[in-house]
A and B are shown apart, each in its own frame.
Chain A
Amino acid sequence: MTSPGDAAPVKPPPSFSPGVARVASTSPSRYPGEHETTQSLDAELAESQTVSSPTPLSATVAELPIRSGSSHSRSGRSSTPQLARSSIGSPFDGRSDGSEDIRSSIIRSFSPTIAVHASEDTDDLVRSKGFKGGFWELIRPFGETVSGKVVIRDSIGSSRAWEDYGVRFADFKGIGRTPLNRDSGPLAQMEEVLTKQLDSSGGMLGASVRTKDVLGLPATTPLCKSFLQQLLCSAPTAPHETFGHPVANVIAISSRNAAPLETLRQLYADGTTGNKQLPDWVNQEYLRYYVLVHDEERDNITESIKLYDQMKRHFGLHCHLLRLRSSQCVVTDDDSMQVPQCEWLSPSEHLSGAEALVDLGTDGTPYLFGSDATAIRAFIRELVVQSVIPFMENKVAVWNDQVASRRRGISGRFMSMSRRWAGFGSSSRSSIGGSSGGISGNYDPTQHSYSPDSPEAILRKMADFAFMLRDWKLAASTYEMIRSDYGNDKAWKYHAGAHEMCAVSMLLNPLATSAKIKLESVDQMFETACYSYLTRCSDAPHALRCLSLAVELLKSRGGSATESAAKWAMRVMDFGLVGSVGQILYTERVAACYASKTPVGAAKWGGRRRKAGMWRILAADQWLKAGQPTLASACLEEAERLYADVLQADGVFPMPEMQSFVDNLRHAVKVEYLGARGFDTRDAPASEDPLATEETSEKLDMRHHRRSLVGPPMQLDAGALNATQGPLDPQSPPNDDFERA
């Protein structure tokens, strides 16, 4: 076990630490230049409109908000484990940044939950700093990234350092309670959030900011990523999976408290008795961590240290003294810093957050003293590295030893086999109970849950712990072991969850190469999970989460797995799990899945460019119908690039009906886009003379493809081209030569 003493991470050799530079590049504003880009586009547009009133279509289309080359930002964090001992390269080294980013998101979404239970005086202290939600709200954003590397030891004893480890703080009172419902499920809320985001950003959110992978294909749009993040954290705490159950409980008091030890005792007792108690399907064996918040401005530090020493004597190592200033910080103070944004906000929080922002005006996010932020970061690091992780490692080891190995052994197999047959035959069930726990008696069909100390629940918890510790191999084998038991007990949600997580952990395991795991079995597991969620439990949010995980993880596998990723994305649309905006997003995902299947060999076969192009065009059509011409034009642009390789040199579709459809679409997008930007579209000659339009648009294609063959168009380059193209006749040969050079 990692003891607090050896917390210093086992450093990889300098030649094998690619993640360090990436962390340095993480800045709060990840996409600088986003707004400049749009504005300059508009400016250019206005300019060209005034310089040459009969704007050639080529120029205008080129000025449509195309993916800007400058937004080539690397993903902030890497989820690639840095192996401490062996230097096995990650199989994803050559993969795109974007999918790596998504993988990291998925991994981080399954992070341990830590409940926060603060006394009234602590919450008062923090409220005076401007955080209405109290202590929980103050530390929550800092928990999403634990500073520095976190070393985790897995079940076979090898350590790995993770840079992007995080924990999720949850309000103790909120766990297991159904949140205030806005009389709509999470799916409807997500759709609402999407619509709001689209409206507020004017479409720039999805279009211009993109991470690009090696081939220059956009991997994901921010809109899509935010959708996925909301989806992953929208699931309420449920009995059948323990990711939302607290791993630890932070009990906080402040130095203002008159009777500190009494309060601590009271807060502790709240966890086990009384009306604030957690639901009884939550395992009560979680870690208690005691925090004393010291008010730097009003209270005496020697007193606090004395109290802290007393706490340490009572409660042992799991204590921390957090020194904060109690006055509110404003922007103009020295040493003030903005509180980082929460990355994982559930859809309902997104909605209420948006309303709050409207109320307060622009500065909705509070500020904090830099010294406070440092203190909080240090506190969280100590909490995670010295207490939570060792606790979880310990639990996994104990359960693995006491519960799982018994099931794995020959007698355990015999038990589970006899259990299986017992159902058919006589009522000899009760006699087989014995050491491996009860038969199906552990499942309570009225509550739809197992009691937390039954072996089924403990095994599930152990697998979830292993998953959160990123030991996917152990997690996968444990899920695999228990998934059939749930089926025998007809605990369908558990059944679905175990299948889902088994497949996910198999796909996440970086050391199992694609040849090793059978994609068919993964597909089969997703199929079963999805069927159990949807048909047996009619739980659409979980089904959507399951299918989305399938899409993203299979896509990041690459190769033939992308085909089944596309299949699952189509399945999502087929089941009608998402609303109208979600449908378009998933259309884009299908396109992205096909586009990520790269051709191999000299013959260039195996690519799916035509399919990807078709789905992009369909998405463009739908965006246009949804009134988002900016996004539509981005999709169209993307489709052209995808088709560039497969169409004959001039970029004209061989089939007349396709060609006319694409031409019409292109024209409609242009008209809508200009209309939305406030330009008078009647001036544009394109709308009057369709024949001429067609000709010029073909010219544009030619030029565009040539450019895209050379390399991804640079932002500067595009700007220069536009500037020269405006006044010049687009058909003049020198212009062409200039571009070719």
Chain B
Amino acid sequence: MAAASKAAISSSAVLGSISTLNNPSLLKMSYYFTILSPTDTPLFNIAFGTSKGGGDGIARFRFPETAQYMNQFIIHSSLDILEEAQWTNGGMYLKHIDTYPPAAAYISAFLTPSGARFLLLHQPPNLPSSTSSSSGLGSSSLLGTAGSTTRASSSSIAANPTSPQTEEAVRQFMNEVYENYVKTAMSPFYKQGMEIKSPVFRTRVTAAGKKWL
């Protein structure tokens, strides 16, 4: 365990020296998670922010408060790519499939056997100017990673939404949500295609988000 954490520290230190963004106070990723039925109807929506690195778990998207529909537009438009990707990729987790460059929004997708799709939009915060973020870079990134190994991986998630660490973290999140989704869908009171209103499910998704993202 100690060896693993050491490796993580050293790798993240390298990352930190490459990326000037590795300052935890500036790395509040925002997430928007949606479950879509096979007919594209949304079954479940949740928006949350990162809880890692001192994040408070509140989503702060780049759009103004009045333009939150943009998340849905972006998710909806990425279905074009999803429909293409699902035939070329054998796995259930399709990884990062799409980006929306004007807002730097990244979409990851997960397919379930029943045809429901999990889509996660993740968006790094507005990039601060490199001069402000480079101050105290080395020390803070090392302090942030010294706490635990998951923290080490989380700080690199935020630094680079397409990195393998992020893919892995999103995969863990998706798997956990999938387990909970199966349990919820097996409930006798739930019919296929119904909106998921269960508060238990919502808290579990929130917990998974806290744990992995």
Give residues 612-654 of A contacting B (CB, 8 Å). 613-614, 617-618, 646-648, 653-654
Q: Which of B42, B73, B84 gathers the greatest number of chain A CB atoms within 10 Å?
A: B73
A658 touches B72 (CB 8 A): yes
**A690, B184: Cα distance in complex, Å:** 37
A605 interface neighbour in B39, B76, B87, B101, Cβ under 8 Å: B87
The segment out of A428-436, A442-450, A567-575 that lies at the interface is A567-575
Check A32 for interface membership: any CB of B closer than 8 A: no
| B69 in complex: contacting residue of A573, A605, A657, CB < 8 Å | A657
Residues of B within 8 A of A611 (CB): 77, 80
Across the interface, which residues of B come within 8 angstroms of A573, CB to CB? 102
Bound Cα distance A87, B184 (Å): 64
Residues of B within 8 A of A605 (CB): 83-84, 87
Asked if B72 contacts A657 (CB within 8 A), the reply is yes
Q: B39 and A610: CB pair below 8 A?
A: no
Given A654-B40, A654-B42, verify A567-B80 contact (CB < 8 Å).
no
Nearest CB in chain B: distance from A570 CB, A: 5
Chain A contact surface mostly: helix
B76 and A614 contacting across the interface, CB-CB below 8 Å: yes
A301 to chain B, nearest CB (A): 67
State whether the Cβ of A54 lies closer than 8 Å to any Cβ in chain B.
Answer: no
The answer to whether A614 touches B102, judged by C-beta atoms less than 8 angstroms apart, is no
Which of these, A603, A607, A648, contacts B80 with CB under 8 Å? A607
Q: Which residues of B have CB within 8 Å of A657? A: 68-69, 72
Q: Is the CB of B102 within 8 A of A655?
A: no
Q: Is the CB of B102 within 8 A of A570?
A: yes
A648–B76 touching, CB < 8 Å: no
Q: Is the CB of A574 within 8 A of B80?
A: no
CB-CB < 8 A to A574: which residues of B?
101-102
Contact status A617-B73, CB under 8 Å = yes
A655 B101 Cβ-Cβ under 8 A: no
The answer to the question of B208 belonging to the interface, with a C-beta cut-off of 8 Å to chain A, is no
Query: A574–B84 Cα gap in the complex (Å)?
Result: 27
Interchain CB contact under 8 A, B68 and A655:
no
Residues of A within 8 A of B78 (CB): 610
Q: Are B39 and A648 in contact (CB under 8 A)?
A: yes
Q: Confirm or deny: A727 has a beta carbon within 8 angstroms of a beta carbon on chain B.
A: no
B36 CB contacts on chain A under 8 angstroms: 654
**In the bound complex, do residue A614 and residue B42 qualify as a contact, i.e. CB atoms below 8 Å apart?**
no
| Closest Cβ neighbor of A571 among chain B residues | B101
Which residue on A lies nearest to B101, using beta carbons?
A570
Within 8 Å by CB of A658, from B76, B83, B102, lies B76
Range, interface on chain A = 20 to 34
Report which residue of B36, B42, B74 has the largest number of chain A beta carbons within 10 angstroms of its beta carbon.
B42
Chain B, 74-98, contact with A by CB distance < 8 Å: what is the 0/1 string? 1111111001100100000000000
- A610–B80 CB distance below 8 A: yes
Which one of B39, B40, B75, B80 has the greatest number of beta carbons of chain A within 10 Å? Answer: B80
The reply to whether the CB of B41 lies closer than 8 angstroms to some CB of chain A is yes
Interface string of A589-622 (1 = CB under 8 A from B): 0000000000000010111111101100110000
Beta-carbon contacts of A553-586 to B below 8 Å, as 1s and 0s? 0000000000000010011011000000000000
CB of A661 closer than 8 Å to a CB of B: yes
Residues of A near B83 (CB, < 8 A) are 605
Contacts of A656 in B (CB 8 A): 42
Interface size on B, residues (CB 8 A): 21
Nearest to A664 among chain B residues (CB) is B69
Instruction: Give B180 Cβ to nearest chain A Cβ, in Å.
Output: 22
| Interface bits A338-357 vs B (CB < 8 Å: 1, else 0) | 00000000000000000000
**C-alpha gap A571/B101 in the complex (Å):** 8
Question: Whole-angstrom distance between the alpha carbons of A609 and B77 in the complex?
Answer: 8
* Alpha-carbon separation in the docked complex, A648 to B36 (Å): 14
**Chain B CB within 10 Å — which of A607, A611, A661 has the most?**
A611
Residue in A closest to B74 when the chains form the complex, CB atoms: A614
CB distance from B9 to the nearest CB of A (A): 35
Inter-chain contact A567/B72, CB cutoff 8 Å: no
Residues of A within 8 A of B75 (CB): 655
The answer on a CB contact under 8 Å between B77 and A655 is no
Q: A567-B101, A654-B42 are in contact. Are A610 and B77 (CB under 8 A)?
A: yes
A610→B72 contact, CB < 8 A = no
A467-478, CB under 8 A of B: which get 1 and which 0? 000000000000
Contacting pair A653 B76 (CB below 8 A): yes
The answer on a CB contact under 8 Å between A648 and B87 is no
Q: Nearest Cβ in chain A — how far from B80, in angstroms?
A: 5
Q: Which residue of A lies closest to B45 (CB)?
A: A655
Q: Decide: A658 and B101 in contact? CB cutoff 8 A.
A: no
Q: State the Cβ distance, B71 to closest chain A Cβ, in Å.
A: 8
> A610 — which chain B residues lie within 8 A by C-beta?
76-80
- Chain A residue at minimum C-beta to C-beta distance from B67: A661
Q: Which of A274-296 contact B (CB under 8 A)?
A: none
* CB-CB nearest in chain B for A653: B76
Question: A645 vs B80: C-alpha distance in the bound complex, in angstroms?
Answer: 12
Q: What's the minimum C-beta distance from B59 to chain A, rounded to whole angstroms?
A: 14
Partner of A609, one of B74, B80, B84: B80
Contact at A658–B39, with CB atoms within 8 Å? no
Contacts of B68 in A (CB 8 A): 657
Chain A residue at smallest Cβ distance from B98: A611
Residue on B with the closest CB to A648? B39
Are the CB atoms of A661 and B101 closer together than 8 Å? no
Selected contact of B41 from candidates A607, A608, A614, A654, CB within 8 Å: A654
In angstroms, how far is the closest chain A Cβ from the Cβ of B83?
A: 5
Chain B residues with CB under 8 A of A614: 73-74, 76-77
Q: Which of A573, A608, A610 has the most CB of B within 10 A?
A: A610
Cα of A617 to Cα of B42 in the assembled complex, Å: 20
Interchain nearest-CB distance for B61 vs A (Å): 13
B 103-119 to A, binary, CB cutoff 8 A, 1 in contact else 0:
00000000000000000
Given A570-B101, A570-B102, A605-B87, does the pair A658, B69 have CB atoms closer than 8 Å?
Answer: yes
Which chain B positions have C-beta within 8 A of A660? 69
Q: Which residues does chain B contribute within 8 Å of A655, judged by CB atoms?
A: 42, 72, 75-76
Give the distance to chain B from A658, nearest Cβ to Cβ, in Å. 5
| A657 and chain B: residue at smallest CB distance | B69
Using CB atoms, name the residue of chain B closest to A563.
Answer: B81
CB of B33 to closest CB in A, whole Å = 14
* Complex alpha-carbon distance, A288 and B141, angstroms: 70
Docked complex Cα distance between A658 and B42 (Å): 12
**Nearest-CB residue, chain B, relative to A618:** B73
Residues of B within 8 A of A618 (CB): 73
Q: What distance in Å separates the Cβ of A550 from its nearest Cβ neighbour in chain B?
A: 15
B169 to chain A, nearest CB (A): 26
- A603 — which chain B residues lie within 8 A by C-beta? 87
Question: Are A606 and B84 interface neighbours, CB within 8 A?
Answer: yes
Q: Mark B21-55, 1 if CB is under 8 A from A, else 0.
A: 00000000000000010011110000000000000
CB distance from A600 to the nearest CB of B (A): 10
A648: chain B residues at CB < 8 Å are: 39-40
Bound: A617/B69 CA distance, A? 12
Report Cα–Cα, A567/B75, bound state, in Å: 18
- In the bound complex, do residue B69 and residue A661 qualify as a contact, i.e. CB atoms below 8 Å apart? yes
Q: How far, in angstroms, from A178 to B40 measured CA to CA in the complex? A: 57
Distance in Å: Cβ of B102 to nearest Cβ of chain A: 6
Which of B72, B78, B79, B84 has the most C-beta atoms of chain A within 10 angstroms of its own C-beta?
B72
Q: Among A609, A646, A658, which residue has its beta carbon within 8 angstroms of that of B73?
A: A658
Q: Specify the chain B residue showing the minimal Cβ separation from A655.
A: B72
B residues less than 8 Å from A609 (CB atoms): 80
Give chain B nearest CB distance to A647 CB in angstroms.
Answer: 8
Once the chains are docked, how many angstroms separate the CA of A605 from the CA of B89? 14
Task: List chain A residues, Cβ under 8 A from B84.
Answer: 605-606
7 A-B residue pairs with CB within 8 Å: A605-B87, A608-B80, A610-B77, A646-B80, A648-B40, A654-B42, A661-B69
* 4 pairs of A and B residues whose beta carbons are closest in the complex: A657-B69, A655-B72, A611-B77, A661-B69
Known: A571-B101, A574-B101. 20 other contacts (CB 8 A): A574-B102, A603-B87, A605-B83, A605-B84, A605-B87, A608-B80, A610-B77, A611-B77, A614-B73, A617-B73, A618-B73, A647-B40, A653-B76, A654-B36, A655-B42, A655-B75, A655-B76, A656-B42, A658-B72, A658-B73
